[in-house]
A and B are shown apart, each in its own frame.
Chain A
Amino acid sequence: GAGVSQSPSNKVTEKGKDVELRCDPISGHTALYWYRQSLGQGLEFLIYFQGNSAPDKSGLPSDRFSAERTGGSVSTLTIQRTQQEDSAVYLCASSLRPGVGGPQETQYFGPGTRLLVL
């Protein structure tokens, strides 16, 4: 069906508030990734889900960040007690399968959520 969708497209919040960002991957894609991109910078890997396996959280910058993926489909990235340095574009991507030791399955990216913490 449609590509990866993310909501909200923009989010303005006050320092200290919690925010939830949503990602709807492409139907049938088993792998889901969250990245963060600060203004003018490259993408920073945050977390990766593959099927029902435990997520790879190695990229999460602090314990204020968490993510879950319900039913192997929709994912929510939660940032607690937001700080100004959390302001960035949060990108979600999905792929049919992960690439392990072979061709990397193409990652399809959503449009991102632009988060501004005041």
Chain B
Amino acid sequence: DTAVSQTPKYLVTQMGNDKSIKCEQNLGHDTMYWYKQDSKKFLKIMFSYNNKELIINETVPNRFSPKSPDKAHLNLHINSLELGDSAVYFCASSQDQGWSDTQYFGPGTRLTVL
């Protein structure tokens, strides 16, 4: 059973398009996250939701909009995709929102913008 799953695993699209990445966790966790890992492997948090409420919103272009329909899902919608958006996007979840709580990461979605 996959604890944190993401779809799609790979996404190749043209500049200017709008795309969504979906994330689901079956661990019963209260907190979910989105991270971006760039080509230099630098991992940076983008958003954090706790019980469907936005907790962390780092400096991210407003073209990125997270949506949490319920505790188990956190989707990421990206408008007007740009070349610089190419990266691997990881979803993660943890029981609580404290950073000391173990985060479980999904397999990642590799986004390539042409």
A and B together in one complex:
no
